A = this chain, B = another copy of it.
């Protein structure tokens, strides 16, 4: 089984992904997880509730999630983007079924409403942040769908153990899902060839990362890449053997990443 996680950038090429999956899915069971941050930020601005980024004391940024942000999250992730992808991949004869973490309580999270944030160097407590960390996967539902030939297309948000909708880190959720499904490899695609030493130089690609030293690479990570490294660390901790990072904008992007043309963490 293979889990493929695709970032939410607007230059991801879903036709290339569809072509690749049409072939790969004949050989292996596949679960797709996607983001939608690019479109989310755009719609949030249009609706007059621009995404508000907060930074943790350790320098990890995330979106502050009040009820308006949850509503926009549902609209863009679970609605517009999830269904557009689900329909697009059906054009490649894939039996896709789009699900959020809420559906069938697929992604169950522990709510974590109070977080510390760094505001101009001062640590402050932020309350009522509607976020949580995924801890439990509805494995019965995933097995039911895979056993019957469906390709699940999954996105946040998650549902808390108290049945509240919570925003959740997608890379972390991917790791937990892979761990509970005993998946051995994860492919993570985004708008770069892999982890770069210099974000402005595509030729500075880091081809191999020793899984025991992954945290040493935080120094090369900027923006969202910091969370991908945390997610990879979590996946390694949960027994995933190989993580392939690759480019979501090239032809046969999954095959390309699996062939070692991006960054391999092992």
Contact = CB atoms under 8 A, between A and B. Distances in A.
B140 A148 contact: yes
Interface stretch (A68-76, A199-207, A214-222, A257-265): A68-76
Contact of A95 (B87, B104, B164): B104
Contact of A165 (B71, B77, B87, B95): B87
Interface residues of A, number: 39
Contact of A76 (B46, B79, B84): B79
Copies of this protein in the complex: 2
Given A74-B79, A76-B75, A84 B165 contact: yes
A108 to B, nearest CB: 10
A90 interface: yes
A74 B77 CA distance: 10
A63 interface: no
Given A74-B84, A75-B79, A78-B83, A102 B91 contact: no
A24 interface: no
A263 B103 CA distance: 33
Contacts of A83: 74, 78-79, 100, 102-103, 157, 165
A14 to B, nearest CB: 13
A87 B47 contact: no
Contacts of A140: 148
Contacts of A159: 87, 90
B86 A103 contact: yes
Given A95-B104, A97-B99, A103-B99, A43 B87 contact: no
A16 interface: no
A12 interface: no
A75 B84 contact: no
A125 interface: no
Interface of A: 43, 46-48, 71, 74-80, 82-84, 86-87, 90-91, 95-100, 102-105, 140-141, 144, 148, 150, 157, 159, 163-165
11 contacts: A46-B47, A74-B84, A77-B79, A79-B83, A83-B157, A83-B165, A86-B103, A87-B163, A87-B165, A90-B159, A96-B103
Given A87-B165, A90-B102, A97-B103, 5 more contacts: A71-B80, A74-B84, A75-B75, A78-B83, A83-B102
